[in-house]
Chains A and B, each alone.
Chain A
Amino acid sequence: MNIRLPNAPLTDEQLQQLNNLLQGLEGWQVDWLSGYLSGYRAAQVGTAVMEAGPSLAEQAIKLTVLYGSQTGNTEAVAGQLAEKAKASGIEVKLWDMAEYKPRELKNEQYLAVLTSTHGEGEPPDNAMDLYEFLNSRKAPGLKGLHYSVLSLGDSSYEFFCQTGKDFDERLQKLGATAVIPRVDCDVDYDDLAEKWIAEFVGALTSSMQASAAPPSASAAMSQLETSVQYDRKHPFSAPLLENQLLSGRGSSKEVRHIEISLEGSGLQYEPGDALGVYPQNDPALVSMLIDALGFDADSSVELDEQQETLTNALMHHREITVLTRPLVEKWAELAQSDELNKLMESKAAVTEWIRGRDVLDLVQSYPLADIDANGFIKLLRKLPPRLYSIASSQAAVDEEVHITVATVRYNAHNRERGGVASTWLADRLAEDATIPVYIDPNKNFKLPADDNAPIIMIGPGTGVAPFRSFMQEREERGARGPNWLFFGDQHFLTDFLYQTEWLAWRKSGLLTHLDVAFSRDQTEKIYVQHRIREKSIEIWNWLQDGAHIYVCGDADNMAPDVNEALIDIISQQGNKSREDATEYLRQLTRDKRYQRDVY
């Protein structure tokens, strides 16, 4: 054997010595030597880093290159920039804008934005998300970010290079500093682009030599200290950031993705926790109720030792959409109605009557002769907060919290009715509204501490929300454990909640398996439990590998059906009696490997 590698970084003499040595060695000796050499090298490098570490880190400039490209021209220029910068010793990350996480922006030091412009000054498709992010309320302060923009366009269009101009203006408004001015290129872009690259890279390298890299945008921002503790009793008034309908056209569902800012609140949450939301009653319902009672809407009532107008009390503080048995009992005492008294004789009859009815129905059906506003308010329960499983991870979204809300609407007893919180969020929330929120921790729905543990997530409908947070968290943590999601809903085309995100995670490898059941896309109804049964063998194998199972969503049908499917799988695949299989699942629960968040 003779080493004859023209590229080997060895002198002829060294090569000769090496050849001499290798020729006399047995295979096992070569193996030993190769292990020895890597160990030798590791020790060497370790020392070197300890000596030179800090100064090296100070000198390295990190440049992120983002391109928005429709035809590939801009992408090609971005590639040229990346190469040139790398050659100058800059650490470069090159991103298709569509694949870049906009929230990373605030951690960047140096940024190059290259984009084309389309149609009437519109961004290319792959720049859309970033463009909208920067122009939204979610855009972070970017003080400390150094950037330059290269725009490609066609001067025969009215909005020549508009997207580049927009990016430039927006970055500047957010506090970023231009390293060199933006350059707008026409269809013959090559020379100008080359010049811009040279100047930009030149400016970066000279700043690299001049000083240490500047701190990132987030580090440059002043930290907001907060002394207030927000909790259930003291909810934080959180600004609404985004309220996006997820259900596609033609869906019979109305599910919303809601992003809320926690900035400055100091609120912290973990994947699996819930967000408590204090909703408002529908003002139309409130005024119907006040009318039915014949009260003055502005009259003052006593509420928790404070004075409030009747309208405010009913909108913000008292529950009016749910009838409780104690309320109906108290009402019956006051009403002296033979009919109501007769109804009260049968428990079942009351339960039946209560179903689908609210306080307005009670007031209209059995009017009270003499009750005043204060007396009425005293009969009512406090308006309880609603809990939503959190759909985001702070590791990914920082001071934001996301929830997934299915709007509840139905007709009962000849009146359109709806869920208090969900219709409030869907219909009555102004774009700049704030939402009173707090964190409701859930210790019993937590990712495994071991990042290598496999997890199986079963979350049809809005039950999928916490799993979005799980995936964000595991992605940010770089967790290596395999992830498997079972999702279901009515229709594939319109009800696949967060479809593009699951697909992206499957593509990146984070999501190992994605199985879906759409109940109404075929004649027979198919639900998640059917898919779970189809995958019996693999699920059993995953359990053997220490998988944790999470179930979130409907408690009445889905959760018991899934539970049943799991028992069958354990029993069949594990050759166990039903009793033993049930015990096996119980043990998983005790070991916190089977966790449920069902409602």
Chain B
Amino acid sequence: MNTKLPEAEQLKLDSRYLRGTIAEGLDDVVTGSISEDDNKLTKFHGSYMQDHRDLRDERRRQKLEPLYSFMVRLRIAGGVVTPQQWLGLDAIADDCSNGTLRITTRQTFQYHEVLKKDLRSLMQQVNALGLDTKGACGDVNRNVVTNVNPHQSSVHAEVHQISQAISDHLCWQSGAYAEIWLDETCVYQPGKSEEPFYGDRYLPRKFKIGIAIPPENDSDVLANDIALIAIIENDELVGFNVAVGGGMGMTYGETATFPRLATMAGFVPKDQIVKACETIAAIQRDFGDRSVRAHARFKYTIDDHGIEWFNEKFTEYHGEAMTAARPFELVRNGDRFGWIQGEDGQWHLTLYIYSGRVADTEALQLRTALREIAKVHTGEFRMTCNQNLIIANISPEQKPVIEQLVEQYQLDIGERVRHYV
């Protein structure tokens, strides 16, 4: 065949499983930048380069290159981190970035203004915390988002485990990550596949999976490529309704692009759900439009072919059809600020975080406060899709300790925004 692949596709194909010349670019100390092609590849590694726009012209006159830095985003399925991880992530902010952390709408952290010379150190420190940045951007499955429902703790724990399993299962596998960031030896051999699922062209475009636990829809689940709605019967998780092809993005001026809610496809039992997600991602991998990037999201695949076609393909790939979707109701999508006691007696405190920005300012020592909380907290932290933060699983005995810190640092437990919810 003589057809030329579009640039983005050719780049993936030529990248030797996401290696490109990233490592060489990092070692080139006379520039703070990496090449344009490598910058597309580093997205798969959770990072991309930016430059300080306001300084561009000034620095050009000064015969200095633009002030380049990198954004780095973590993979944290369901947005859950331990206090130890919190402390580590907090320290990285000072060590490698601009001293702030940002909670994103996909329940993860991102760092800003990371200089090229500090990138490797950041990745290694993240790795030491048992986390990574794989697929936080790029044409692969992105961070899996999950409802943070604080009351049904046992269901939340199970759903979180599933989100972690999906995230790990759909994580890209190439040795590139360990080689580039963690100083491991190169394992690349021409002709040897390093991506049993993705292959050498990965997905046509980014791919998002979200999970909701009705009636809460804080994860805005139908805006995902795969929307999973937990079905709970007799207080027990039985499986998920699966909707496909959601996505809110559109390109202004491109009439062929549009926002779309996911279409309900059916029900899958919980022990099948990881495989079902792989199946669906495989359908997009094989049938997504790789020729026009603006038309490459899964929602267009579904829109072009229809849901019946999808269900046929699903049955063919999965070996089994979905059963009929079960009844559910989603009613709220905001966060429930303040203190809530779960069914097991544990307490959860949802804090309002302005723009998800965890920083110390003159008015509010938020980062310090959360660091102090992390030092004494025995439960976990959960980031919400609304860029807020839950201090989760506080024992009744610990509650006064946390309360005292909240009081001391004047943290916002939602009073200022409650009326929006």
Contact = CB atoms under 8 A, between A and B. Distances in A.
B60 interface: yes
A492 B32 contact: yes
Contacts of B63: 244, 246, 257, 497-501
B30 A500 contact: no
A500 B55 contact: no
A493 interface: yes
B117 A249 contact: no
Contacts of A503: 30-31, 65
A499 B29 CA distance: 12
A469 to B, nearest CB: 15
A496 interface: yes
B208 to A, nearest CB: 29
A501 B31 CA distance: 12
A522 to B, nearest CB: 9
A133 B164 CA distance: 57
Interface string A463-505: 0000000000000000000000000000011101111111100
Interface in B29-82: 29-32, 55, 57-65, 67
B62 A247 contact: yes
B64 A494 contact: yes
Nearest to B33: A503
B31 A248 contact: no
Contact of A248 (B30, B64, B117): B64
Interface string A229-250: 0000000000000001111110
Contacts of A497: 63
B37 to A, nearest CB: 15
B61 A248 contact: no
A308 B67 CA distance: 51
Contacts of A128: 57, 60
A516 B67 contact: no
B32 A249 contact: no
Given A249-B55, A492-B32, A506-B30, A499 B64 contact: yes
A247 B29 CA distance: 19
A564 interface: no
Nearest to A128: B60
Interface string A126-158: 001100000000000000000000000000000
A244 B58 CA distance: 10
A243 to B, nearest CB: 11
A494 B62 CA distance: 9
Chain B at the A interface: SS class: loop
A521 interface: yes
A45 interface: no
Contacts of A516: 29-30
Contact of A244 (B55, B57, B61, B67): B61
Contacts of A501: 63
B62 A514 contact: no
Q: How large is the interface on B (under 10, 10 to 19, 20 to 34, 35 or more residues)?
A: 10 to 19
Given A499-B65, A503-B65, A493 B60 contact: no
Given A248-B59, A521-B117, A500 B32 contact: no
Interface residues of A, number: 25
B30 A514 contact: yes
Contacts of A521: 117
A419 B63 CA distance: 24
A495 B55 CA distance: 15
B210 to A, nearest CB: 35
Contacts of A493: 32, 64, 67, 115
B112 to A, nearest CB: 16
Contacts of A257: 63
B30 to A, nearest CB: 5
A356 B351 CA distance: 58
Nearest to B57: A128
A24 B62 CA distance: 67
Given A493-B32, A503-B31, A516-B29, A246 B67 contact: no
Contacts of A245: 62
Interface string B325-338: 00000000000000
Contact of B30 (A129, A246, A494, A502): A502
Interface string B214-231: 000000000000000000
B410 to A, nearest CB: 32
Contacts of A244: 61-63
A248 B57 CA distance: 12
Given A493-B67, A521-B117, A248 B29 contact: no
Contacts of A498: 63
B65 A500 contact: yes
B165 to A, nearest CB: 41
A500 B117 contact: no
Interface string B269-302: 0000000000000000000000000000000000
B54 to A, nearest CB: 10
Contact of B62 (A248, A492, A506): A248
Nearest to A487: B30
Nearest to B62: A246
B297 to A, nearest CB: 23
Contact of A500 (B58, B60, B67): B60
A519 B109 CA distance: 32
A499 B31 CA distance: 8
Nearest to B52: A249
A250 B62 CA distance: 13
Nearest to B29: A516
A247 B63 CA distance: 9
Nearest to B69: A493
Interface in A235-269: 244-249, 257
Interface string B7-30: 000000000000000000000011
B64 A500 contact: yes
B252 to A, nearest CB: 15
A244 B30 CA distance: 22
Interface of B: 29-32, 55, 57-65, 67, 115, 117
Given A128-B57, A493-B67, A499-B63, 12 more contacts: A128-B60, A244-B61, A244-B62, A493-B64, A493-B115, A494-B64, A496-B30, A500-B60, A500-B64, A500-B65, A503-B65, A515-B30
Interface of A: 128-129, 244-249, 257, 492-494, 496-503, 506, 514-516, 521
9 contacts: A245-B62, A246-B64, A497-B63, A499-B30, A499-B65, A500-B60, A500-B65, A503-B30, A506-B30
